[in-house]
Structure 1
Amino acid sequence: MSAILSADDLNDFISPGVACIKPIETLPAQQPGDGSNPYEVTTEDKVAASNPPPAQISLTDCLACSGCVTSAEAVLVSLQSHTEVLNTLDAYPSLPLPWSEHRATNGYRNGIHNGLNGHSNGQGWNERDGKIFVASISPQSRASLAALYNISSGSAGHLIEQLLRGPSGLASGGQHGSHFAYVLDTNVCRDIALVIAAQEVEGTAKEPKKPILTSACPGWICYAEKTHPHILPHLSRLKSPQALTGTLVKSLLWKKYGIPPEKVWHLAVMPCFDKKLEASRAELTSAAWSGSGEPVRDVDCVITVRELLNMADARGISLPNLPLRSVPREKFPDMEIDRFLFPPGRRKRGVNGEDQAAGTSGGYLWHVLQSASAKECGSRVEVERGRNADVVEYRVVRDGVTGKEILFRAARYYGFRNIQNLVRRLKPSKTSRLPGAARRPGSHTSPAQTGSGDYAYVEVMACPGGCTNGGGQIKAADLGSLGAVEGGTLDIDMDGKGGVTDQRKLLAKVDEAYFSASSESEGEDSDENMDEFTDTDAMDIDDTPRVNGHGQRKFDGGHGKEVVNGISIRYISDVLRHWSDTTGIDIDTLVYTSYRAVESDVGKSKGKKTSDVERVAGLASSIGGGW
C-alpha cells in the first residue's frame, strides 16, 4: 500500500460497494411541485438521465467502513497535494511575525507584540486574513532530492529552504508573494520521540503491552487498525516526529502568543503518501491538546518530494538553480525552543556512517538497543539476519560465568509480507468450544511462546527497506520525465524505464545521502545566522559527545547530562518540561496519541436484526431514491 499509493494514480477508483450507504445519502431529494408523479413507474433511462452528483467520501466515512478503503484513501491522498499548497499561499498573505521587527526588503516594520490585533500592515490587507506558514522536512526527503541532483543532503536541505523561504522561491510569485516563515528539520523532534521510546521500554513512561511495536509508520497503523485489532495494545502511543512538530509549534504560538492554531499553516514534506492519512486523523488535532475550540489539524498538509518538484515546476522555478546556501531566518519567539528547533554551532545531530545499523526509518530500535545496553556494564549488541533482509533480530548480551546471557531482545520487521508473519505470531490463541477440550491450567500458549512474543521491542515499517524507500520518494522510473535532471548526474539508466536494477542503484544513492547527513558542514547554521545568538544565549551543549559503539553512557563536560546515542536525555527532558510549563498542558497530552479498532459493519445486523440491505433500501426510499 505505502509503496504504490500515489496521487497521480487515481484512475483505478473502485466504486463503493452495495452495502456502502454514503452515495445513497447524497442522492438529491424530490422537490415538491416538480411535476413528478409518485405513482409513475421509473425506468432505468429516466434514472440515468437525472445524473445525480458523485458521492463525497471523507476520512470519517472511510474509517467507518473498511469495504472500500483503498479507493477512499486514494481520494484522501489527492486532497493533500502541491496544488493545495499553492492555492493556500495564494489565498492567504504571509502573516508578519508579531514578536520581532521585520527584516525583509518590503520596507515595513512590524510592531505587534501581543498576538494578533487586526491592525493593517500597510499593504492593503488585514493581518487577520493572513497565516504564518511553517514547513517541516524529513531527512529521507532531503536524501531523495540529494540523490536526484547528486549533491549532499545538506545542500538538498538548502534547496528546499530556498524554495519555501528564499526570495527566488515561492515568495517571487503568487498573488501575495506568500512564503514560509520557518523551515524545520523533523530530526529535532525525532530526538524527543527516541528518548520517550526508550522510556516506554524501560517502564518509566506510558508502557504498552510487550512487545512494544513502533507506531511512526501510518501505513502500518492503518493496516493494524482495520485488520488486526488484537495488535493495538502493543502499539506505542507516542506521536511521530511529524505530529510532534505540528503540536509543538501550534501549541506554543497559541498558548504563549495568542496566535490561534488556524492561523498557523503547517506543511510537512515526507517520504510516503500514508503520512497524508496520518495528518487527517482526528486524534492529531488541536482538540486533543487544547480541549476547546474547533479542531485544527496539527499538520495541515503533507506532500512528498516528488510533489515538491511539481510545486516548483508549477511556479516556473528551477529548483537545482537556486542558491546552495541557507536563508537568514527569523528567531522563534521562545528562546529555549528556538535553540531546540535550530541548534547552534555544531550540535546538529543526525544518523552518520557509523550508525547504519540504525536503519533508514529514524533509528527507533537502535536507540532503544543503545539505551538497554547502556544500563548493563560490559554488554554488547548482537545482530542476526532473519529470513530476509527486512527481518533482523537484535540481542543485548553479556558474557557471564555460565556463558552468554541474553538481556534484551528486539527485532525489525519491514514490508507487509513480513508484518503479516509478525501479527500472526502475536495473535492470541482461540479457546476450543468442544466438550473436554478446555486447556489445562498453565497450558495456554502465550505470545511469548510463539516465536515473537519474547521481543521487548519491534520496529515496524510498511515499506521494504524502510522510509528511504517510501512511496513518495523519487523513483528510477521518474528520472526520464524530470527535466531538471541533467544527463549523467546519476550512474543509472536515464531513459525513464526505471528497471529493478536502476531502482536499487538509486535507493543506494538515497541511503548514502541519508547516512552521511550529520557529517556534512552544509547542515550547520551559517555564519550570518550565528549573530542571532548572544553570549548569554549560548548553551552548554555545543560539544555534546557521541556515545561509543557499545552503548556506554557518557556525560558532556561535567554538566551531568547523560548522553545516549548522541542525545542528551536531560536536555530533552528540560525541553519537554519547558514546553509543558509554557503551554500549561501536561507532557503526556502533548506527546501521546491513541488508536482504535476500525471494524466494518458490512453484513452485520443492526438494532432489530435489520440487515444492511434492508437498512440501505429503507434509507433510499425515505429520501425518494431506490434501486
Structure 2
Amino acid sequence: MSAILSADDLNDFISPGVACIKPVETLPVAPEPSSLEHEVFRDDGPTNGTAEPAQISLTDCLACSGCVTSAEAVLVSLQSHAEVLRALDSAPELDLSSTTSISSSSSSSSSPAPLLYVASVSPQTRANLAAACGPGVTEQQAGHMLEHLLSGPNGLRAGGAFNNGFTWVVDTNAARDATLVLGADEVLGSSPSGAAKPRPLLTSSCPGWVCYAEKTHPHVLSYLSKVKSPQALTGTLLKTTLSRTLGIPADRIWHVAVMPCFDKKLEASREELMDGAWDDTKPNAGSKGIRDVDCVITSKEVLMLAESRGIDFFSLPKTSLQDNAANRRVPFPDTILDQFLFPAPSSPARHRPSAAAGSSGGNLYFILQSVLAQNPGATLHTARGRNIDVVEYSITAPGQEAPIFKAARYYGFRNIQNLVRRLRPTRPSRLPGGRPIGSARRGGASGAGAGLDFAYVEVMACPGGCTNGGGQIKVDDEIVVARRQAASGVEANGAKPGPLEQKAWLADIDEAYFSAEEDDVTETAIAVKGHGDEVDGISPSYVRSTLAHWAQTTGISLDKLVYTTYREVVSDVGKSTAPGSKKKGADATEHVVQLASKIGGGW
C-alpha cells in the first residue's frame, strides 16, 4: 500500500473487502513460517528474495471486485514518485536535436535505449499546489514551479544517474477542451461515431465512478460516455503523435501524469487505454501492450518527488521556464499540435474555465452552454437537489413551458447510489396483474431510467468535485500546517484542523483553480472574438479541425483515438467458480476469510 495512502484519505470509500487472496490461494494447508512471506513486484521482474514471489498485475486487481475503494491498494503502490525516479534513472534521455540520433539510437549490451520523457499536469493539481504555497499564488504560477521541477536545470535534471528531465510538460486543459467538444457532440447527436446512446448520458471522466459502475452496477455501462478523459486523451495524443512522427516505438516514450486523484492510477492501468487499442500494426495483438500513461502521481507525491532529490518545491521560481532562452522547450514535432498543446496567450486554443463551470472539468456546463447557443432566447433554470452535491438544470425555450433539455450533477457516492437505483431495469411482478418492480413505479413509464428524464448527468466520485480528490494535499498535512504556522507566527497547539478549516482550505484551492492573470484573460477574450462558433471561450470548429489533423497525421481513425469502452467486472469472491465445488455461499466467504488471515487479515 502506498506510504501516503490511508483510510482517512479515501473520502469516496465504498466498502471494505477481504485482503487480496491471489498471493495465498496456492499456499499449503500448513505452511512453514518462512513460507508466509510473499511479495508483489512490477511486471519487469522479481526482486531478490528467497520466497517465491506472488505476481499480481494491475489487471488482476481490476478483474476482482472483492475490494471497492477509491484506489485498490496494490495499484496505488505500483505507481508512485519512486517509480518516476526509477524510470528517469533507467535510460538516458533521447536527444531530439538530431534526427540521426533519434533513428540510430538503440540499446546495446552495455547501455539501454534512450527514452523520451513527457509529462502532463492537471489544473486541479496546480490549484492544490498553489494553495499549499500560500495566499497570492495563482494556479499558473504553481504550474511554472512544476515546470521548473520536471524540466528545469535546477529541478530533476540536477540529479539522478543521467540528469534526465521531461522534454515536454503538457497542460491537460488542451485535451479537456477536446473532451468537452466531443462530449457535447455525443449528447446533442453529432458524434462522429454515429452511435445513438440511451439517455441519460453519464460522464465517464471520473475513474472511481467508472470502476464502481463496472464492478457493482453493470446495468449503467450502456449509459456511460465513450469519450476518453483528459488524462487518457492526452496520453493517446502524445504516444501516437510522437511514435509516428519521430519513428520510434511507443515503449520508448515514457509518460507521467500528475493528477488530483488516486483513481487515475486505475485508469492508466486499463487495457482499453494501451497501444493495442490504436496500433493495428502491433505484432503481438494478444499482449498487454504499452500504456498511453505509464505512471500517475498525485499532488502529494509531487512534494515527495522533489524531496527525494533534495529540492525545496516551494522555493522554485514562479516565473515561466521559457523566459530564459537557454531553457526554451523543444518544439513539438507537429506544428498544428504544438499550437494546440502549448497555446500562446493570444491563441484561440488558450481557454480559461469560468467559475460557473465548476472545478471538475466543466462537462455539464459546456453542454448547457451549447444548448443555449443553439436555442437563442432560451432560459436556464437551476434547482438544488437534496444536498449541495445534487443540482438539476433545465432549459426552456421562449413561450414554452416544457423544458427542451434537462441535465443534472451528482457528486459523491451517496448521491451516485441514488442515481444508479433510478437507472436499474424494471422487473416483472410475480403477482398476477402486478405492476413492474423498479423505476417504472416511480416514473409511470416503462424501461430502465423511466422517470429520470435527464439528457445528461455529470457524475463525480468525490464530494465537491475534482479539487477535493483523494490525492490532493490536505489542510491537516504536516507541510501545510507547518507553513501556515510559520506564516502566522503561531506555535502548534497539537489540535488538528476541523471541518471549518477544511472547508476554508477547499475554498482556497477553488480560488486558485479559477485564478488568472488579467492579461491572459484579456488576450484570450480578444483571441476568440470573431471566431464564429465559440462556446464558453472554446471554438468547437477549431477543436474538430485539430482532431481531424491528428487522425490524418497518425493514420489512425479518430474513433480509435478519442473513444474507449467499458466492461462488466464479475467477482468470484464468495462464489463457487469450480465445477462441482462444494464451497458455496457462506462457505466460500469463509474460505476467502481464511485465506486472508494467512497474510494478516484485510483492511
3-state SS of 1:445 partner? coil
Q: Which of 423, 436, 440 in structure 2 is aligned with 1:426? A: 423
| Distance in 1 of aligned mates of 2:218 and 2:334 | 41
Asked if the contact 1:148/1:490 (under 8 Å) is kept, the reply is no
Q: Which of 96, 100, 103 in structure 2 is aligned with 1:112? A: 100
Deviation at 1:136, TM superposition (A): 0.4
Deviation at 1:609, TM superposition (A): 4.0
| Distance in 1 of aligned mates of 2:380 and 2:389 | 18
Equivalent residue for 2:554?
583
Cα-to-partner distance string for 1:299-358 (whole Å, 9 max, x where unaligned): 011111110001111111111222222222110011111111111232363445xx3221
Q: Which amino acid aligns with 2:315?
A: N
Cα-to-partner distance string for 1:193-228 (whole Å, 9 max, x where unaligned): 000000001111144321000000011111111110
Asked if the contact 1:351/1:516 (under 8 Å) is kept, the reply is no
Write out aligned runs for 1:128-207 (5 A): 129-150=113-134, 151-205=137-191, 206-207=195-196
Deviation at 1:542, TM superposition (A): 9.1
Deviation at 1:545, TM superposition (A): 2.8
Cα-to-partner distance string for 1:59-104 (whole Å, 9 max, x where unaligned): 222233312455981111011111111111112221112xxx3xxx
| Distance in 2 of aligned mates of 1:522 and 1:16 | 48
The alignment status of 1:384 with 2:383, answered yes or no, reads: yes
Q: Residues 317 and 394 (structure 1 numbering): CA distance in 2 closer, same or farther, change over 3 Å?
A: same
- What TM-score do you get using the length of structure 1 for normalisation? 0.80
Q: Which of 261, 271, 275 in structure 2 is aligned with 1:272? A: 261
Deviation at 1:382, TM superposition (A): 1.8
The alignment status of 1:250 with 2:247, answered yes or no, reads: no
Asked if the contact 2:351/2:538 (under 8 Å) is kept, the reply is no
| Distance in 2 of aligned mates of 1:21 and 1:144 | 36
Q: Residues 611 and 574 (structure 1 numbering): CA distance in 2 closer, same or farther, change over 3 Å?
A: farther
| Distance in 2 of aligned mates of 1:203 and 1:88 | 43
Equivalent residue for 2:216?
227
Deviation at 1:269, TM superposition (A): 0.6
| Distance in 2 of aligned mates of 1:59 and 1:497 | 35
Q: Which amino acid aligns with 2:169?
A: V
Q: Which runs of 5+ in 1 are unaligned?
A: 29-41, 102-109, 526-540, 547-554, 619-624
Equivalent residue for 1:513?
512
Q: Which amino acid aligns with 1:118?
A: S
3-state SS of 2:190 partner? coil
3-state SS of 1:564 partner? coil
3-state SS of 1:427 partner? coil
| Distance in 2 of aligned mates of 1:597 and 1:120 | 40
Q: Residues 207 and 96 (structure 1 numbering): CA distance in 2 closer, same or farther, change over 3 Å?
A: farther
Asked if the contact 2:59/2:269 (under 8 Å) is kept, the reply is no
| Distance in 1 of aligned mates of 2:435 and 2:16 | 46
Deviation at 1:386, TM superposition (A): 1.2
Asked if the contact 1:476/1:499 (under 8 Å) is kept, the reply is no
Q: Residues 186 and 300 (structure 1 numbering): CA distance in 2 closer, same or farther, change over 3 Å?
A: same
Deviation at 1:485, TM superposition (A): 6.3
Q: Which runs of 5+ in 2 are unaligned?
A: 9-14, 40-53, 322-327, 592-597, 599-603
| Distance in 2 of aligned mates of 1:408 and 1:203 | 13
More displaced 10-residue stretch of structure 1: 601-610 or 128-137: 601-610
- Superposed CA RMSD in Å reads 3.5
Equivalent residue for 1:574?
545
| Distance in 2 of aligned mates of 1:428 and 1:565 | 36
More displaced 10-residue stretch of structure 1: 215-224 or 438-447: 438-447
Asked if the contact 2:220/2:423 (under 8 Å) is kept, the reply is yes
Equivalent residue for 1:8?
4
Q: Which of 274, 280, 286 in structure 2 is aligned with 1:285? A: 274
Asked if the contact 1:10/1:75 (under 8 Å) is kept, the reply is no
More displaced 10-residue stretch of structure 1: 186-195 or 426-435: 426-435
Q: Which amino acid aligns with 1:183?
A: V
Equivalent residue for 1:74?
73
The alignment status of 1:306 with 2:300, answered yes or no, reads: yes
Equivalent residue for 1:538?
none
The alignment status of 1:336 with 2:340, answered yes or no, reads: no
Deviation at 1:482, TM superposition (A): 6.6
- What TM-score do you get using the length of structure 2 for normalisation? 0.83
Q: Which amino acid aligns with 2:186?
A: E
| Distance in 1 of aligned mates of 2:561 and 2:24 | 40
Write out aligned runs for 1:207-222 (5 A): 207-222=196-211
Asked if the contact 1:493/1:502 (under 8 Å) is kept, the reply is no
| Distance in 2 of aligned mates of 1:177 and 1:524 | 39
Deviation at 1:6, TM superposition (A): 6.3
Equivalent residue for 1:346?
346
Q: Residues 492 and 241 (structure 1 numbering): CA distance in 2 closer, same or farther, change over 3 Å?
A: farther
Q: Which of 397, 411, 415 in structure 2 is aligned with 1:414? A: 411
| Distance in 1 of aligned mates of 2:309 and 2:522 | 29
Asked if the contact 2:71/2:266 (under 8 Å) is kept, the reply is no
- The structure with the larger Rg is 1
Cα-to-partner distance string for 1:216-249 (whole Å, 9 max, x where unaligned): 0011111111110111000001100000001001
| Distance in 2 of aligned mates of 1:439 and 1:385 | 30
| Distance in 2 of aligned mates of 1:245 and 1:489 | 40
Q: Residues 494 and 267 (structure 1 numbering): CA distance in 2 closer, same or farther, change over 3 Å?
A: farther
Q: Which of 309, 313, 317 in structure 2 is aligned with 1:315? A: 309
| Distance in 1 of aligned mates of 2:494 and 2:33 | 46
Q: Residues 600 and 263 (structure 1 numbering): CA distance in 2 closer, same or farther, change over 3 Å?
A: same
3-state SS of 2:278 partner? helix
Q: Residues 615 and 396 (structure 1 numbering): CA distance in 2 closer, same or farther, change over 3 Å?
A: closer
Q: Residues 607 and 53 (structure 1 numbering): CA distance in 2 closer, same or farther, change over 3 Å?
A: closer
Write out aligned runs for 1:545-584 (5 A): 545=528, 555-556=530-531, 561-584=532-555
Q: Which amino acid aligns with 2:175?
A: C
More displaced 10-residue stretch of structure 1: 133-142 or 291-300: 291-300
Asked if the contact 2:126/2:142 (under 8 Å) is kept, the reply is yes
Q: Which amino acid aligns with 1:173?
A: G
| Distance in 2 of aligned mates of 1:609 and 1:444 | 43
Q: Which of 496, 506, 527 in structure 2 is aligned with 1:544? A: 527
